[in-house]
């Protein structure tokens, strides 16, 4: 009997797979046996090398999710190699400024990538999953800001809170149709998005002091949660937002 965490023969789309958490998730899924369709704005050579080293297929799709324009193309190109079984909505951006000074442009840019494009890409992929009746797995990458307010990131907090709600709504609609929709809420990981925080000695020290695990997360520490939510092991898990945060929310 195969492991309930085995993804052999499955294919996964991972957005924002060129670096950081997206890259780590793509590699973890590949090591569990899934072929990877990596979506990103820039070259994904490093991700492709790591995925192929796991012995599975790798397809690169260049796309900027700042608009809905590439959604149809992503779905079409991803389907060329076979059925899409897993979608990981990882692509996201952040803008920082005091709420009193926050601009409409920064609000719209974050909401468009983090929430709007995520919904419509999920819709496009789910149509295929529903059409053949074989179901699938959708994993949204939420945030601790899906639970908390944060400071100086109003559109990011709004988008990630919205993504948690969207995860639950889609789970309610699709659970009975064989599609699991769940989310992962990463804590403070060493990525491009947190570089400004890590370079601020006061903020970095305050964050580190609250993490029971005693260190900022490494991208590789997120992969296991993604494999679980993508695999048969989570077949009866619907609509959860799973924190992977070193104990931050427990503090």
Distance between alpha carbon 55 and the CA centroid of its chain, in Å? 23
**Domain membership flag for residue 3:** no
Phi and psi at residue 196, in whole multiples of 5°? -60, -40
Please report whether residue 6 resides in a domain. no
Q: The domain containing residue 109 runs over which residues?
A: 11-250
Residue closest to 25 by CA, chosen among 127, 140, 134, 117: 140
CA atoms within 13 A on the CB side of 170: 29
How crowded is residue 223: how many other Cβ atoms within 10 Å of its Cβ?
20
Q: In this structure, is residue 5 part of a structural domain?
A: no
In angstroms, the CA 5 to CA 25 distance is: 14
Nearest to 150 by CA among 110, 91, 181, 113: 110
Question: Per the domain annotation, does 153 fall within a domain?
Answer: yes
What is d(CA 163, CA 160) in angstroms, rounded to the nearest whole number?
A: 5
CATH of the domain at 104: 3.40.50.720
In a domain, 211, yes or no: yes
d(CA 17, CA 141): 12
Retrieve residue 20's tokens.
């950081």
Dmax of the chain from CA atoms? 58
How far apart CA 8 and CA 245 sit, in angstroms, is: 28
Which two tokens mark 53?
A: 């080293």
pLDDT digits (tens, 9 = 90+) for 131-170: 999 999 999 999 999 999 999 999 999 999 999 999 999 9
Q: What is the pTM of this model?
A: 0.97
How confident is the model over 108-117, as pLDDT tens digits? 999 999 999 9
| In a domain? residue 228 | yes
CA distances to 12, 47, 172, 208, 214 from 27, in Å: 11, 7, 29, 27, 25
Asked whether residue 1 is domain-assigned, the answer is no
Q: Are strands 35-40 and 11-15 parallel, antiparallel or unpaired?
A: parallel
Q: What is the pLDDT along the chain (251 residues), one digit of tens a residue?
A: 689 999 999 999 999 999 999 999 999 999 999 999 999 999 999 999 999 999 999 999 999 999 999 999 999 999 998 999 999 999 999 999 999 999 999 999 999 999 999 999 999 999 999 999 999 999 999 999 999 999 999 999 999 999 999 999 999 999 999 999 999 999 999 988 788 889 999 999 999 999 999 999 999 999 999 999 999 999 999 999 999 999 999 99
The residues that are catalytic are 156
Count of structural domains within the chain: 1
Determine what percent of the chain falls in helix, strand and coil, rounding each to the nearest 5.
50, 15, 35
Q: What φ, ψ does residue 130 adopt, rounded to 5°?
A: -75, -35
Rg (CA), the chain: 17
State the number of CA atoms in the 13 A half-sphere of 176 facing the CB: 3
H/E segment holding residue 165: helix 154-174
């Amino acid at each position: 009997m195969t492991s309930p965490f085995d993804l052999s023969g499955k294919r996964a789309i991972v957005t924002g797979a060129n670096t950081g958490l997206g890259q780590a998730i793509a590699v973890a899924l590949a090591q569990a046996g899934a072929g990877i369709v990596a979506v990103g704005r820039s070259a994904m050579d490093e991700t492709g090398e790591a995925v192929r080293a796991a012995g599975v297929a790798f397809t690169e799709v260049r796309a900027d999710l700042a608009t809905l324009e590439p959604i149809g193309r992503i779905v079409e190109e991803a389907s060329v190699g076979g059925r899409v079984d897993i979608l990981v909505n990882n692509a996201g951006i952040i803008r920082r400024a005091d709420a009193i000074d926050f601009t409409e442009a920064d609000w719209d840019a974050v909401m468009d990538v983090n929430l709007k494009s995520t919904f419509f890409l999920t819709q496009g992929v789910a149509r295929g999953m529903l059409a053949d009746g074989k179901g699938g797995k959708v994993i949204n990458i939420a945030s601790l800001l899906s639970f908390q307010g944060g400071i100086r990131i109003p559109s990011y907090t709004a988008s990630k809170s919205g993504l948690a709600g969207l995860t639950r709504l889609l789970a309610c609609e699709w659970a009975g149709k064989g599609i699991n929709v769940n989310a992962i809420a990463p804590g403070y990981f060493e990525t491009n998005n947190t570089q400004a925080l890590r370079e601020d000695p006061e903020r970095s020290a305050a964050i580190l002091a609250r993490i029971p695990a005693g260190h900022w997360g490494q991208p590789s520490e997120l992969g296991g949660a993604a494999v679980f939510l993508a695999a048969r092991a989570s077949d009866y898990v619907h609509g959860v937002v799973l924190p992977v945060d070193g104990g931050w929310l427990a503090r």
